[in-house]
Amino acid sequence: MLYVLVSSFSIYFLSCQTKPDKSFERIPDKLLKTEDLIKGILPTRQYEYWACFRQDMGGVRNPQTEIITSKGNISKLMNIKFNTPKSGFKNQMWRGYYYIAYIEKDSVNLVTNEKQLIRFLTSVNSIEEALLIASIKGFDVDHNRPIGSSFKKVKNGYELYLVKFHKCTVKTEPFKVYIDTLGNLKAKSLGFYYDVDSNTCLD
């Protein structure tokens, strides 16, 4: 079966044989985990200090707080008290949630949702930041095949091939995703699936 997909940024003839063109690169395996993406954050705006924390979910015995990455003089943040937020911009089963605390004009500000994260970044300028925004929207990298793990830098952002995972049956759905430098995301399904258990394409 052949699908025709018309999007705002390209026209494709789609089938199970669809592959990214040669202008796309594979997403490195080292960018598999959320922490790896967070370590690639580089805000355009200069802050006195900022740090990204991973916080265990509520109800966990002896909840732990972990600093994933930080920039600036940490002593300034340690001298200002703030309440730990109850949720973050990225929530992950078994791993807790992630939030950012930063100092601006001698006060602590928190990043606990996608809108605040984009404002904190000011501009999406790296593949790590683009993948982080995509993951918040429910997209994942499927390193088993190029159609789920490819990207290229374009004039005003990134184009990516990513997937969404579905349960019952377990399958992946490839998407063509575009993220601009302002953090806006557009996505179109490629119209077919991969059965994870049998590793076969379903169109």
Q: How far apart are the first and last CA of the chain?
A: 6
Domain limit, last residue, from 121, 142, 176: 121
pLDDT given at position 113: 97
User: Is the model's pLDDT at 78 over the cut of 90?
Assistant: no
Confidence band, pLDDT 50/70/90 cuts, at residue 144: confident
Please indicate, yes or no, if residue 37 is contained in any of the structural domains: no
Residue 13: C-alpha distances to residues 5, 120, 174, 191 (Å): 6, 38, 14, 10
**Structure tokens given for 203:** 């169109």
Q: What does DSSP assign to residue 31?
A: G
104 lies in the same domain as 132: no
Structural domain that includes position 13: 3-32+124-202
Task: Tell me the residue ranges of DSSP E strands in the chain.
Answer: 3-6, 11-14, 25-26, 49-55, 65-72, 90-92, 96-104, 107-111, 150-154, 157-166, 171-180, 185-189, 193-195, 200-202
Pair (52, 19) in one structural domain = no
Can you say whether the dihedral through the CA atoms of 63, 67, 73, 77 is positive or negative?
Answer: negative
Task: Specify whether 183 is located in the same domain as 131.
Answer: yes
- Average pLDDT of the segment spanning 160-170: 88
- The answer to whether position 40 is within a domain reads no
Are residues 111 and 130 located together in one domain of the fold?
A: no
Instruction: Give the per-residue pLDDT at 3.
Output: 38
What pTM value is reported for the model? Answer: 0.86
Q: Per-residue pLDDT tens for 110-141?
A: 999 999 999 999 999 999 999 999 999 999 99
Alpha carbon of residue 60 to chain centroid: 25
